[in-house]
Structure 1
Amino acid sequence: MDTLNVLASEVQGIVRRIGLEVEPGLEPTALVPLERLEEVAHELRLEGFMLLDVVGIDYLEYVEPRPERFAVVYNLYHPHRNLRLFLKLYVADGVEVPSLYPVWRAANYTEREVFDLLGIRFGGHPDLRKILTPEDLEGHPLRKDFPIGESPTLFNDGRFLDPSAFRAGLKGSQRGLTGWRGGERVGRPSVPSLPPTPGRPENGGKA
């Protein structure tokens, strides 16, 4: 048996021992019920797994039906045995997920990112607030029904932000970059001209 099959077999053995269902796919993914999330996380932590990342998925427009609209996926890795395991939790819109910050401190910023971009709340998180988007942005940009790119975004304080500027990470605080004029929509932002390079002749060197 080759190395990849040995590793896959070892991960499947751990998943079966914990009593989880395996989701078919290219990567080893175990489905965990909401009520067992904290218990399973503690057991995998004791097993030696560390948390690398937490991501959220919106299946609103997915072709194949899923148990719930959203999923939270925990990317786990065992550094000493070179094992990778994805822990997947399906969750309905508005249902709170227990924070895994008490188990893995790495869940701090990653859960905040999922909350900010998808609106999934993590109960017990010590500081659940926005981490990427502006404070006055309404909605969650990675939801499939978020209207990004269709119209300018109006913020609570009266600013407008172009969708293209939003994708570039601009916050609307600089008028020349976002077209903000005290709440009135204006045309395309102008690009300020740069000063001449020191020591470089103007007009191609002509007098």
Structure 2
Amino acid sequence: MVGWFAKKMQNSKVYMCIKEVKWELETTDKGHHATILALGQFLRQEVFTDIELLGEALDRPLDYSRDDLVHFYEMLENIRNKNAIQLEQTKKNMRRLGIELPEASVQHVKNTSRGLEVWMCTLGAGIAVDRRDDIRDIWKYLSASRSHLEQAILGLRQVEKVTEEMTGMPSAGMFGNFDIEKWIAACEFIPSIFVKELDF
């Protein structure tokens, strides 16, 4: 009984994540989609590499057990939740100093979380198997935005610059030496389970 309830709760979380990501992509333009794609692929290429086997699971989630996928999903979920808490704490601290965190910075954190959620949804293909079509649609929206990637990446670099000016600290730690050619190439990646289903 406990196992059944835990599985139901896990499925509910995955369903909600997929629903929210798909809805945002349905109601925004390709420029925004490209920003989410760029952030998600940056995370995959530059941040997730320290998590053993995660890269393979993001490419081929159906090759992994439900328990493994839930483990990876909850790892990413914890990162997302910590980022949200940190954002609220930063806003609170700045208000105490009589400063409002710029809306562009707030939106950047939200976009980064959405990029992270794309991978949570991808893992969800092996957890909430009845939502696989929705996850394929998410990747279809993202892949269709590739012609907007260069502008999206330039926008992210501008956020990096503004952050440096606002904090007085070098911004190289945000995106490092991830040059635009490498970034665009990384955005060609589509999880293997959806490659044949997307007509590009």
TM-score tier (shorter): under 0.3
Structure with more helix by fraction: 2
Structure with more strand by fraction: 1
Tell which structure's C-alpha radius of gyration is larger: 1
Greater relative contact order structure (CA < 8 Å, 6+ sep)? 2
